[in-house]
Amino acid sequence: MKLRLMLWLLGLLLKRALRRKPRFRELLTEMRGLDWGIATEDLSVARFYRMSPRGIRAGAGLPVDLDLELRFEDEATALKVLKQPTQQAFLDGMIAGKVRLVGDSGDLQKLQKLLRHL
């Protein structure tokens, strides 16, 4: 339940940043948008975010056409990593096999640049 709430709030924060933060809008315009999602491996909790300079749409589930997916072994792992979303935390999770990246690692770097401006 905590993870679902956290991901829902993330959607609100992204929309707020698009409205209020010029640097966030500028970066999003440069990358021409990014479609990404977060889920547990069993897909019991999944949420996607479609971000473009015109707006941000978030929803439940995980469509197949996303640029980037972050898959976590379970909810506890997701909460632990997402509370402190550093590169080291993601790397440690990937090495331990608890975090899986589906997509291009370059998109992950773009996402991290954007999330710094929340």
For the chain, which residues score pLDDT lower than 70? none
**pLDDT, mean over the chain:** 92
Reported as a single tens digit per residue, the pLDDT across 86-114 is: 788 888 989 999 999 999 888 888 888 88
State whether CATH 3.30.1050.10 applies to domain 2-115. Answer: yes
Partners of 58 in the beta sheet? 49
Find the DSSP H helices in the chain: 2-20, 22-31, 75-83, 87-96, 105-115
